[in-house]
Structure 1
C-alpha cells in the first residue's frame, strides 16, 4: 500500500537525481494503463483533458474541473501526480497562490504554472508580473507543510511571445524566487534546450513532442534534463488513431486500421489493478 505521504516523498526524490519520464494521462483509464506500463509518476495534460470534454486546448477548462479531474487521477492510481494548471486559472498572484493551495488539498504532489495569458494569441505576462505570480505560488507551496514540487514554466518561446534568451532570463528569476523545477517547452532545438539546462542549477523539465520525439531518453539524460514530460502528445496520438480509422471507415468503407486495436484482455487486466485511495 502506498500512502499519499509516500507518494509526495517519492515525487520529490525523483527530482533529486537522474532523469525520469512523467507521462500525461487524460482520464482515469489512461492513467491506470500508464501506471501498469511502468510509469513512476503522472502529470495531467490540460489539452488532453479538454479533449475529453469536447473542448479545445488553452483556457477552456475551469479550475474546479481541473482540480476534480486531478483528484480522480490521484484516487485511482498509486503514483505521485502533478497538475498541469495552465496559468493557475488566474492573472493575480494571490489567485495563483490559491490554485496551488487547492492543488495540494486534492492530493497532488506538485503542479505547474505558466507565464501565459489565457486570451487571444496567448501572450506572455510582462516579466515583473510573471515573477510576482511565481513568487506567490512558491509561498503557497512552501505553506503546504509537505513535499510539493512547483514547476515554473516559461512558455513564450513555444507561443511566439519571446526568444530563448528571454525564456532563460525568466526561469533564472523563477529559480531565484524558489521554484523547484524550471520548464521551457519547445525551444528551437536540442542546442537551445542544452542552454536552458545549463542556465539554472535547479532541475529542468523537457517536453518531448514534435521534433524532439526524434531523440532518445539517453540524449536528454546526458544533457542534464531531470524530467521528461509528454504533454498532450500521447493524447494526440490517440486522437490521430481516432481520426484516421473513422475517416477511412466513413469515407472509403475501409476497416483495415481496426486490425491495429489493442487486445481487450490486456487492457482489461491493466484497468483491473487496484488503486489505493488513502490519506
Structure 2
C-alpha cells in the first residue's frame, strides 16, 4: 500500500475522504478512498453539537482511534488548534495522535474564540508540532493550516506569509481553507514547495479534480461537506414528510448494498 506521505503529489491530488463515524469510514474506504480523515465538524454533528462545538482532545482522539481500527487505510485527524495555545500543548497532541495510530493530523492557526494567533506565536506552535512529529518512531505527516482567510481574520497575502513560515519550520503539508478563488489557490502552490491541501466545500464543490490538479494541489479534503450533504437529505425528507406527507425522499440505496460495503473490511 502506498504510504500516506507518498500519496501527496502536487498536480495529481488524491481525495482525503473525511468521515464522521465508523460506518462512513468503512463505506468511503470500500468505495475507493485511499485515505480517511476525521472531520471535527462532522463528528460534532453526531454529538448534537454545532460546528465549532469543541469536542475535547481525549474524545477527538478516541473517535480517531475508532476510524483507525475500522479501516486498513491511513487515517489523518482534524485536531482543531492542537487543543491549546501553548506550543508544548501542540507537541503533546502530536505525540498522543501518533499513539492513537494516526498517519498524520492538521492544526489550525485560529483559536477556539475565532481569533487568529499572532504570526510569531502561530509559527512557534507549528514548529513545536513539527519537532514533535520528527521525534516519533514512525512517519507522521503534519499539515499546518492558515484558517484566517476562511474566518475573515486576514487576507490571502497574510495566509501565504504564514504558510511560507510554516513550511520554513518543516510542515509537511500546507492548507488555506476557502481562499477567494482558483487564482488564490494557484498563488499558494506557487509560493511554497511543500504539498498543498485544498478543500472541496461550499462554492469549491463546483470545481472538479482536474481544476485542483491544474492549480498544483496535492490533496483535496472534504471537511464537513459530505456530512452536511447527509444532513441536507434529512432536512429535505423531513420537510416533505412533515409538510405534505410525502415520503419520496426516503428512497435510499438497498440494504444489501449497504451491508456489503460495510462488510468490506469485516465486522
TM-score interval for Structure 1 and Structure 2 normalised by the shorter chain: over 0.9
Query: Is 1:11 matched up with 2:18?
Result: no
> Retained in 1: the 8 A contact 2:182–2:215?
no
Q: Paired residue for 1:242?
A: 234
What stretches of structure 2 of length at least 5 have no aligned partner?
A: none
**RMSD in angstroms over aligned alpha carbons?**
1.3
| Counterpart pick for 1:75 among 65, 69, 80 | 69
After superposing on structure 2, the runs of 4+ consecutive aligned residues of structure 1 that deviate more than 3 Å are: none
* Structure 1 residue 59, shift from structure 2 partner: 4.7
Q: Aligned runs of 1:47-86 on 2, under 5 Å?
A: 47-86=41-80
Distance 1:275 1:166 in 2: 47
Query: Is 1:191 matched up with 2:183?
Result: yes
**TM-score when normalising by structure 2:** 0.97
Q: Paired residue for 1:271?
A: 262
What stretches of structure 1 of length at least 5 have no aligned partner?
A: 1-5
**Number of residue equivalences:** 266
Distance 1:92 1:175 in 2: 20
Query: Is 1:178 matched up with 2:170?
Result: yes
Distance 2:263 2:137 in 1: 34
Distance 1:92 1:168 in 2: 23
Q: Paired residue for 2:138?
A: 146
Distance 1:109 1:15 in 2: 13
> Retained in 2: the 8 A contact 1:77–1:275?
no
Distance 1:54 1:202 in 2: 36
Q: Paired residue for 1:217?
A: 209
* Structure 1 residue 74, shift from structure 2 partner: 0.3
SS in 1 for 2:90: helix
